[in-house]
């Protein structure tokens, strides 16, 4: 099995089914010692910063786990920006109710900083809700600062 831990808009099971039709969601869990943040606003330049995660003792990030089929992995790498060099894969330990699982995440290749648009932040919060994230986690996402534009 090749597990992928989604933490941003890929938390949405319908979105992942569209990208990776051969790769079922197999559970949810937490990345302990990590926090969700944003980066790349000045580098990517399209509509604000994008999600990433950084190590942060005492914090945690809610994730959905997917068993990614090799047919889908290359598609996902391209969609997530690995092919372009925007993101890289990093293996992490995910804590689940059934025990720990090793999975990969996509991490931005660059420094943390920048603000997401209102639209993008809502996409992430909605995806977290669809994946079953606790209400307080979703509320925390929705309360983050955003760029003034709402595109």
pTM for the whole structure:
0.92
Where are the domains positioned within the chain? 3-135
Question: Residue 33 has what DSSP assignment?
Answer: E
| Per-residue pLDDT tens over the stretch 123-135 | 999 999 999 999 9
Residue with tokens 């990030």: 61
Class of domain 3-135: alpha beta
Query: Each residue of 40-84: pLDDT tens digit?
Result: 877 665 678 899 999 999 999 999 999 999 999 999 998 888 888
Give the start-end residues of each E strand in 40-144.
Answer: 50-67, 87-96, 99-108
Strand partners, 29: 63
């Amino acid at each position: 099995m090749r597990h992928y831990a989604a933490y941003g808009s890929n938390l949405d099971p319908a979105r992942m089914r569209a990208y990776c039709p051969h790769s079922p969601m197999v559970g949810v869990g937490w990345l302990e010692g990590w926090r969700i943040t944003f980066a790349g606003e000045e580098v990517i330049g399209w509509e604000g910063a994008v999600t990433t995660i950084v190590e942060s003792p005492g914090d945690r990030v809610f994730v959905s786990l997917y068993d990614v089929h090799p047919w889908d992995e290359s598609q996902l790498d391209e969609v997530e920006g690995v092919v372009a060099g925007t993101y890289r894969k990093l293996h992490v330990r995910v804590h689940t109710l059934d025990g720990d699982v090793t999975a990969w995440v996509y991490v931005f290749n660059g420094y943390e900083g920048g603000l997401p648009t209102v639209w993008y932040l809502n996409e992430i919060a909605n995806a977290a809700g669809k994946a079953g994230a606790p209400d307080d986690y979703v509320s925390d996402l929705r309360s983050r600062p955003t760029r003034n534009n709402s595109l």
